[in-house]
Amino acid sequence: MSRPPATSRKVGRVVVLLALVLVCLRAAQTARALLGAGAVQFPRSVPPGIWAQSLLVARRAKAGRGEAQDSEDVKGPLQPREDEDKAPSKKDDVGEATTEAKASFDQVSRNKPADEASFAEDTEDVEGATAKAEWLQKTADQIRNFSKEEVSCWVRAALEEDGDSDDTPKIVDTLRRESVRGKALFGLTYERLVGMPYNIAAGPAQNLADRINAMLAPTAATGFQVQGARRQLPYIAPKYTMNETVCHNKKLLVCDFEDSEEFAIVSNALMQQLTAWVEECNSSRGICAINGMVKTGKSTVLTRLLPQIILTTFPDAEICFLDFAAFLDVGSEPGEMKEGLLKEVCSWATSSGLDVGHADQLTLNQLMDILDRSGRTCFFLIDEVQRYFEVRHGTLPLWDTLKGFVGVNKQRPNLHFAITGSAMVLAWHNFLKMTPNGFTFVGECRKIFLPWQHPKHELAYAKSKFLATAANESERDELTALLAEIASVPLMAYTATMWKYAQSIKDTQQQVNLKLRSEFVTEMTPLLGDPTWSKPERLQYIRDLALGGATSDPADFFNEIVYGCFFKPYIQELDGKFSFADNPWTVCMAQCIDENGTLVNQSNFPVLQWYQNAQRLQ
C-alpha cells in the first residue's frame, strides 16, 4: 500500500500530538486519555505550600465509597470533582482528544518500529519537527509530574484496559505503599515490577511495562532529554531549597523538595559532612558509608540530598542509582547476583553514552575498569546493599565480589560510591572481616551516622506538619496519639504513612512494631550468630546492657560502625551503670541471649518466629 502524501501525514500527526497535549494539560485531566481509553478523572495535584496533603486521600476516599468499593472517580483532597453536566465543551474536547490519543496509541502498539522509521523519514521534509518533539516531551513531562494518586488512577486504567482488573486493587495499593509518583513510574521496568518490593505477577507486570515503555518511546525518539547526570535519575535527585525556620525559639534547617508533599529536617553538621565527602572526590577515590538504624533517613540522604550536592561540585558527573532490592532477588545463586549487578551497570553505562561493550563479554571488574578509563566522573549511589548478601541458603555471601565492584585495593580515581541499606552494620562488618592483609576497607570511607533520636524542637516542627494534614478533630487526635512518643522524624513520617492505610491506631502500631523487629532480625541476628563477632563476653555484655546492669564502657566492646549505629545513641549512664535508653531492640536482645553469654538455642529461630508470627514481645 502506498504511503499518504507528506502533507496528510503531517496534519495527521499534528492532530494526534495536539490531542495528547490537550489530554495532559486540561484542567480535567484524564488518566485513560493518556492510555487511549475512556476518560477517568483523578485527583488534582497538591498545591505548593501544603505539605503531605495527599496523606488523607485514601482515608477520605474510603469514607466516601465504603470499604469494598474501589471507585475510579475519587474526589481530590482539595477540590470536588465537577458534575458531569458541567462544562460540556471541555468534556467534548477531552473526548475528541481521547479518540485521537487512542488511535495513536493503538497504532504505536501495533507497529511501533515502522512508525518510528516513518517519523524519522519525515523529519527532513515536514516543517515543525522540533515543535512536534517538544509536544511529545511535554506529554511525557506531564506524566512524570504525576502525584501518587494520579499514578494510581493511570495504572488502574492501564490494567483494566488490558483485562487485568482482578489484579488491579493489589497492584495499585502496592504502588501507593511504595510512594510511586510519575518520575518513579517511568523507572519501572518489567524486571523491577516482578521483583521486590512490588512482586507483581508476570502477566500484569508485562502489560504495565509495555504501557510505560510506550509513553517513554516518543521521548527517547525525539532526543529531547535533560543532559548530564540528571538524565540518569528521572525519579530521584529532585531539586530542593534549604530554608531556615524557627520552632520553640530554636532554628532548624528544612529541606523543601519540588514535591510539596516532601520535606526533610537536616542538621548543618550533616550537610557539611555530605559536602565534605563530595569535595574529597576531587582529589581521591571516595567511598561514603551512610549508617543508621531503621527509619533514620538513610535512603532520603542518598537519593534526595546527595545528587544535588554532587551536581553542584561536578556539573558533568554521571550518577548511577542502584537499588539492589529492585533488580536482585532474595535467595538467588551467587552467580545470579553477580550477573544481575553486571547487567544493570552495563545497561546504565550504555544509556549514558559510554561504550563498554556487551555484558556477556565482560566481568564486573573489567566493566568498572572501562568506566574508570573513560575519564568521566561517575557516582554510584547504592541502596539496599544487604540484598547482595541474601544468597541461597548454604552458599557463601558475596563480600569479595562487592569489594571488587567498589574497587578495594584498586585505584579508580573517577569512580565514587555512596552506600547504604537496611543492614549496613552487617555489610561493613563483613567487609572488615573479609579484607586481606590488614587493609581496612572501612578505613577508606567517610562514615556518616544518622541519629535515631532528634531534638525536641525538630520533633515539634515535624509533628505540626503531619497534624496539619488531619481532615478533622478526630483524625488529629488519632495522629497526636500515634506520634506522641516517637523520637525520630523519619519514624514519625513512616508511622503517619502507615496510619494513612491502616484501619485503626492499633493496626498502625502493629505495623510499626513489625518494621522495627524485622530490622532487628535483618541486622543483629546474623551478627549474634557469627562466632567471629559474638564472643561470649560480648554477648553477655549486650544482655547486661538490655537488663541495665553493665558496668564497663561499651566503647571497649564494639568496633566503630556497630557502636556508632546500634549502641552509642541509645546508652545512658546512671550511677556507674550503663543501660539501653529508647532502643527498640532492647527486649529482643535480652531474650535471644542467655545469661552465660550464649545464644538461645544457638540460633536466631526464636527471633524469626517472633517476627513472623507478629507476637508481642514481653
One-letter amino acid of 321: F
Say yes or no: 244 and 363 in one domain. yes
Q: Is residue 532 part of a domain?
A: yes
Q: Is residue 230 part of a domain?
A: no
Task: Identify the band that residue 513 occupies on the pLDDT scale cut at 50, 70 and 90.
Answer: confident
Say yes or no: 175 and 52 in one domain. yes
C-alpha pair distances (Å), 140 with each of 24, 72, 135, 614:
9, 22, 9, 43
Sign of CA dihedral 203, 204, 209, 211: positive
Buried b (16+ CB within 10 A) or exposed e, 457-470: bbbebbbebbeebb
Instruction: Give the span between the Cα atoms of 126 and 360, in whole angstroms.
Output: 41
Say yes or no: 344 and 280 in one domain. yes
Residue scoring higher pLDDT (459 or 50): 459
Q: Is residue 1 part of a domain?
A: no
Three-state DSSP string of 532-579: CCCCHHHHHHHHHHHHCCECCCHHHCCCHHHHHHHHHHHEEEECCEEE
- DSSP character string of 406-449: HTTTS--TTEEEEE--TTHHHHHHHHHHH-GGG--TGGGEEEEE
Digit-coded pLDDT (tens) for 273-328: 999 999 988 877 688 888 887 788 888 899 888 988 898 899 889 999 888 888 88
Evaluate if residue 45 carries a pLDDT over 80.
no
Pairing of strands 378-383, 318-323: parallel
Q: With contact defined as beta carbons under 8 Å apart, do 149 and 155 qualify?
A: no
Beta-bridged to residue 381, according to DSSP, are 321, 418
Q: Is residue 250 part of a domain?
A: yes
Say yes or no: 255 and 383 in one domain. yes
Say yes or no: 375 and 407 in one domain. yes
Boundary residue ending a domain (482, 501, 520) = 501
Count of domains forming the chain: 4
Residue-level pLDDT at 475: 87
Q: Which residue has the cell 560510591?
A: 417
Q: Is residue 510 part of a domain?
A: yes
Residue-level pLDDT at 427: 64
Q: Is residue 235 part of a domain?
A: no
Say yes or no: 45 and 168 in one domain. yes
Digit-coded pLDDT (tens) for 12-23: 444 444 444 343
Digit-coded pLDDT (tens) for 360-371: 889 888 999 999
371: which residues sit within 8 A by CB, 6+ positions away? 349, 354, 356, 378, 412, 414, 415
Residue-level pLDDT at 407: 73
C-alpha pair distances (Å), 129 with each of 12, 157, 260, 376, 535:
13, 31, 35, 32, 70
For 65, counting Cβ atoms within 10 Å of its Cβ (0-12 exposed, 13-18 middle, 19+ buried), the class is middle
Boundary residue ending a domain (224, 251, 282) = 224
Say yes or no: 247 and 209 in one domain. no
Q: Is residue 182 part of a domain?
A: yes
Task: Identify the band that residue 525 occupies on the pLDDT scale cut at 50, 70 and 90.
Answer: low
Residue scoring higher pLDDT (503 or 557): 557
Say yes or no: 346 and 275 in one domain. yes
Q: Which residue has the cell 545470579?
A: 336
Residue 177's closest CA among 191, 157, 206, 197? 197
Digit-coded pLDDT (tens) for 526-576: 677 777 777 888 888 888 888 888 888 888 888 777 777 677 777 888 888
What average pLDDT does range 52-65 have in this prediction? Answer: 34
Instruction: Give the span between the Cα atoms of 219 and 215, in whole angstroms.
Output: 8
Using only C-alpha atoms, the chain has a radius of gyration, in whole angstroms, of 26
Digit-coded pLDDT (tens) for 100-156: 434 444 444 444 444 444 444 444 444 454 454 455 556 666 777 777 888 888 888
Boundary residue ending a domain (406, 428, 449) = 449
Say yes or no: 345 and 360 in one domain. yes
What average pLDDT does range 244-250 have in this prediction? Answer: 83
- DSSP character string of 99-145: HHHHHHHHHHHHHHHHHHHHHHHHHHHSTTHHHHHHHHHHHHHHHHT
Residue-level pLDDT at 379: 93
Q: Which residue has the cell 487511549?
A: 36
Q: What is the pTM of this model?
A: 0.58
Residue-level pLDDT at 237: 52
Residue-level pLDDT at 34: 40
Digit-coded pLDDT (tens) for 183-240: 778 778 776 787 777 888 878 888 888 777 766 544 333 333 323 333 344 344 556 7
Say yes or no: 376 and 484 in one domain. no
Say yes or no: 58 and 180 in one domain. yes
Say yes or no: 258 and 206 in one domain. no
Structural domain span for residue 497: 459-501
Residue-level pLDDT at 140: 66
* CATH number of the domain within which 427 lies: 3.40.50.300
Q: Is residue 409 part of a domain?
A: yes
What average pLDDT does range 482-496 have in this prediction? Answer: 86
Digit-coded pLDDT (tens) for 443-452: 567 888 888 7
